[in-house]
Structure 1
Amino acid sequence: MTLFQIMALFLGLIGLAGWVNARLLHWPSATVMVLAGGLNAGVLLLLHQVFPAGGAGQVIAAVVGVNFPQAVLGYMLGFLLFAGAMQVDLSELHRRRLAVWTLATVGVLASTGIVGGGLWLAARGLGLQLSLPWACVFGALISPTDPIAVLAAVRAGKLSKMLEVVLQGEALFNDAVGIVIFTAALAIAIGGGLHPLDAIGQVALQALGGLAFGLAAGWLALRIIGTIDDYAVEVTLSLALAAGVYALAQALGISGPIAVVAAGLLMGDEGAKTRMSETTRRHMREFWTLIDEILNALLFILLGLEVLVIPFDPRLAGLWGAALVLVLAARFAVVLPWGAYFQVREGQRHAGLVLGWGGLHGALSLAMALSVPRGPAHVLILSTTFAVVIFSIVVQGLTFGKVAAWHAGDPAPASVE
């Protein structure tokens, strides 16, 4: 199949699944797209078994041939993070910066240790070969909350502005920190000789470098935009900013995700308030909302279709269950201190539950798992990651609206559109 035919197929799936959801289900879009992708993968496998000479085999080969890590980390992530950052209230984020930064840094490191150590012990108890360094690789890739899934869940829930910003800000920044920690953990696991203290230094350098670069690029872009009043040109400049900042930051060896988030925060806050006309603000908002919705849908359709390439072994079911418990336990261990603070000092009902259950995992974790080199740990890490991600998006995604409604004091479950 040609690239155009593959894209036509994916867009057709997105449109059909979106129509069914809007017409009948009214579920979170991410959940519907993942389920639609998985369902279509099952149909393709069935058709290929029944009609081996049909076209299903060609479609399966095309899907298997998609480089999921490259699609996520190389193409989509920068635009999705930029779009997500533009939705965040920068002044409220500044007020909650201590909570956001501790959850995005110390929280990810602590979760990596808890999950990694726990999974290593669980694997030993189950008689599986998984060394501590490779278990920590899994802990590093699964600990960051997925910004795409979290932002979708936050939009669907009835949350206070404060908890909404904390979840959004944490998800936007901790994925960048998680990528750096994962890279360092992977280097240690494959015998790269990287000392843990050096790894922490790399995390700090890449994160701070990305933040400074993104703010500088966003400031410069806003000054350029402020000299004209042409919404088509200004929207194009914002698109160039998102792509350019992400690509150049990676070329410079600093965090592209943090750089593009910083640029998006400036564009969405200062740009919307002081540098753009009302017409430009409206077109800018509508453009990036559309980009966000389409890329989100495409990403989660791809995630569901990845069931075609995941090596499943029923004998690993015990490890998957242990990983689910560990990931949830680590998440609540990290967020409960802040949840207690918000509940006692600011009257935020069930804040710990909201922060814990709202920490969804998604495509970013799977992309990192797929990039793990082939070896004895590859199948264990990849299949376990997929199990946790599917549980997170389907179970947590479908129930987060009810948790948010409980937090808001709404006796009825929050409707999800």
Structure 2
Amino acid sequence: MFDALTIIVAIAALFSYFNHRLLKLPVTIGLLMLSLVLALIFAALREVSPDVFHQACEIVLTINFREILMNVMLSFLLFAGAMHVDLKVLEKEKWAVLLFATLGVLISTFIVGALGYVVFNAIGLQIPFIHCLLFGALISPTDPIAVLAILKDARASKSLELKISGESLFNDGVGVVVFLSIAMVSDMGLEDFEVSEIFHLFAVEALGGVAYGLVLGYVGYLLIKSVDDAPKIEVLITISIAMGGYALAGILGVSGPLAMVAAGLLIGERLCSGRFSEKSKEHLDIFWEMLDEILNAVLFVLIGLEVLTLSFEFTYFVAGLVSVVIVLVARFSSVGLSYSLLKNQDHSKIKTIGILTWGGLRGGISVALALSLEPSMSREMIVFITYMVVVISVLLQGLTIKSMVKRLTT
């Protein structure tokens, strides 16, 4: 495992340098593109030099993508992302963020599930409706990592940035809860399923996760405040919150992702409000920003190399291409329906919905959830389709969102 991680980190560093010097693309997009090229080179060597191909596959398989993202990286990524969001500014968009991250995820899940069921079975893929809903749940959460830097470069409005970043912080946790709920129905069967169990799961996982995260963040704030003259200890305390707090959430049975978002927002709000010394704020900001960028670089290299582990079939490829369109339709519908419930809408409603739709990139959490499926849950097909949707959304939407924002906002 250590050797495999060493190789991945080295590749991430090399590709980051190459992208910075030559490609000059947004980091995550550049790394994903270069990793895909490397994976395709290894795939081309399969017949010429099978040993090299198998060694490359072994490195990728040694690093369990689902485990390393869900149990190691996700807590740091969500905590870091939440820490750098100004809670007072986010409050202005609270209803939009809440609707997009809850109602929007649910609407998208069922639209993707329904359309996917019709299309997949029409092209010869016999897949149960409940498995299509699982795909809808895992593909609905959005990932802002690749698009936020582009939005800033395109000088998108602060309101638009907050809608996308705020939504993505919360819909990861909500998406996981919805995914677990549908998986529970799939395991139990409709005849033994009770709706009350879903509400219980949502209350414990989602609401419990937020409450636990706020308590965790406040305790962390008190500890940091008590050693305000020791920035290195303060950094260590925040690391323990992200690692220990996330692990404890799993033991308590509450949502770790939502807990990390709540804790990060609370500590970030204390940082922005000047309750820490400037030295402490500087150390915490620099550390978490660097860690966030390093983990994202490794994550997108892993996503790119994961193509080596996929089972390719032509029908899967067709289903993947169609799914890209289905996911965009579901995104447009869910954002539009959620946005229509807001009282204070801007004058360019359709333009905002268009940008929110195209800016809703999918990321690593979708791949990780797909990999967590049991083989009996149409795992092989769903993993392949999910991977296609994620890669195409990052490369196609990520590379064109800047020009779209400029065209619609000027």
TM-score by length of 2: 0.93
Question: Residue in 1 aligned with 2:390?
Answer: 389
Q: Secondary structure at the match of 2:141?
A: coil
1:122 to 119, 123, 126: 119
Q: Secondary structure at the match of 1:346?
A: coil
The answer as to whether partners of 2:116 and 2:132 remain within 8 angstroms in 1 is yes
CA distance in 2, matches of 1:271, 1:357: 32
Evaluate the alpha carbon distance shift between residue 194 and residue 294 of structure 1 in structure 2; reply closer, same or farther with a 3 A threshold.
Answer: farther
Q: CA deviation at 1:199?
A: 1.9
Give matches, 1:254-293, under 5 Å.
Answer: 254-293=254-293
Please tell me the root mean square deviation across aligned C-alpha atoms, in Å. 2.1
Question: Residue in 2 aligned with 1:353?
Answer: 354
The answer as to whether partners of 1:336 and 1:352 remain within 8 angstroms in 2 is yes
Question: Residue in 2 aligned with 1:414?
Answer: none
Question: Residue in 1 aligned with 2:303?
Answer: 303
- Counterpart AA for 2:214: L
Evaluate the alpha carbon distance shift between residue 373 and residue 155 of structure 1 in structure 2; reply closer, same or farther with a 3 A threshold.
Answer: farther
- Counterpart AA for 2:169: L
CA distance in 1, matches of 2:115, 2:71: 31
Question: Residue in 1 aligned with 2:135?
Answer: 138
The answer as to whether partners of 2:144 and 2:168 remain within 8 angstroms in 1 is yes
Q: CA deviation at 1:177?
A: 0.7
Give the percent of matched residue pairs that are identical in Structure 1 and Structure 2. Answer: 38
The answer as to whether partners of 2:103 and 2:338 remain within 8 angstroms in 1 is no
Q: CA deviation at 1:152?
A: 5.0
CA distance in 1, matches of 2:396, 2:215: 40
Q: Per-residue CA shift, 1:254-302, capped at 9, x if unaligned? A: 1100000011111112134233111111111111110010000000000
CA distance in 2, matches of 1:258, 1:150: 21
Q: Gapped runs of 5+ residues in structure 1?
A: 410-417
Number of equivalenced pairs: 406
Q: Secondary structure at the match of 1:274?
A: coil
| Runs of 4+ residues over 6 Å off in structure 1 | 340-344
Q: CA deviation at 1:60?
A: 2.4
Q: Secondary structure at the match of 2:174?
A: helix
CA distance in 1, matches of 2:379, 2:241: 36
Q: Secondary structure at the match of 1:361?
A: coil
Q: CA deviation at 1:328?
A: 0.4
The answer as to whether partners of 2:367 and 2:383 remain within 8 angstroms in 1 is yes
Q: CA deviation at 1:153?
A: 4.8
The answer as to whether partners of 1:6 and 1:62 remain within 8 angstroms in 2 is yes
The answer as to whether partners of 2:113 and 2:134 remain within 8 angstroms in 1 is yes
Give matches, 1:15-414, under 5 Å.
Answer: 15-53=13-51, 55-191=52-188, 193-228=192-227, 229-337=229-337, 345-347=345-347, 350-375=351-376, 377-409=378-410
Evaluate the alpha carbon distance shift between residue 231 and residue 339 of structure 1 in structure 2; reply closer, same or farther with a 3 A threshold.
Answer: same
- Counterpart AA for 1:70: E
Evaluate the alpha carbon distance shift between residue 151 and residue 187 of structure 1 in structure 2; reply closer, same or farther with a 3 A threshold.
Answer: farther
TM-score by length of 1: 0.91
Q: Gapped runs of 5+ residues in structure 2?
A: none
Q: CA deviation at 1:342?
A: 8.1
Q: Secondary structure at the match of 1:226?
A: helix
Evaluate the alpha carbon distance shift between residue 153 and residue 261 of structure 1 in structure 2; reply closer, same or farther with a 3 A threshold.
Answer: farther
CA distance in 1, matches of 2:63, 2:27: 22
Question: Is residue 7 of structure 1 aligned with residue 8 of structure 2?
Answer: no
Evaluate the alpha carbon distance shift between residue 341 and residue 188 of structure 1 in structure 2; reply closer, same or farther with a 3 A threshold.
Answer: closer
Q: CA deviation at 1:339?
A: 5.2
Q: CA deviation at 1:102?
A: 1.1
Question: Residue in 2 aligned with 1:412?
Answer: none
- Counterpart AA for 1:386: Y
